């Protein structure tokens, strides 16, 4: 089954923050290479998202989050995602040195039976 990868607003914000960090430390060309490599890696989730393990954290267990690691040079980034049918929804992207996720770090897009949006991703 082929999936579609979709980033939440928070995940895009994470990309922007991490891009700015890499840019400050290594310059714009390195930051652009990092971002290109990240999005190339994310596209691999289209084919086999189920192979990545669920996050081993009792607080996050109910959300069925999975963790996908992205290594770039000496750095490791943790990509937190959930499989929603045919959509792989990326919720957060964090450097491994950052603190782990807490339940309030994840916002879910929930709708009522009529399709009315309760909160935004």
pLDDT, tens digit only, all 121 positions of the chain: 689 999 999 999 999 999 999 999 999 999 999 999 999 999 999 998 988 878 877 776 667 788 888 887 788 898 999 999 999 999 989 887 766 665 556 654 443 334 443 334 3
31: domain CATH number is 3.30.2310.20
The total number of structural domains in the chain stands at: 1
For residue 73, tell me if it sits in a domain: yes
Q: Please give the residue range of the domain that contains residue 64.
A: 4-105
For residue 112, tell me if it sits in a domain: no
d(CA 87, CA 104) in angstroms, rounded, equals: 22
For residue 56, tell me if it sits in a domain: yes
For residue 91, tell me if it sits in a domain: yes
Write down the pLDDT at residue 106: 64
């Amino acid at each position: 089954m082929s999936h579609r990868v979709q980033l939440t607003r928070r995940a895009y914000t994470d990309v922007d923050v991490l891009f700015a960090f890499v840019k400050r430390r290594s310059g714009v060309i390195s930051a652009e290479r990092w971002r290109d490599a990240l999005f190339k890696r994310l596209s691999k989730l289209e084919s086999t998202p189920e192979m990545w393990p669920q996050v081993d954290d009792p607080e996050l267990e109910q959300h069925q989050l999975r963790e996908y690691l992205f290594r770039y040079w000496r750095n490791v980034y943790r990509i937190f995602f959930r499989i929603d049918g045919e959509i792989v929804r990326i919720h957060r992207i964090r450097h491994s040195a950052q603190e782990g996720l807490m339940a309030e770090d994840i916002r879910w897009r929930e709708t009522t039976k009529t399709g009315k949006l309760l909160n935004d991703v």
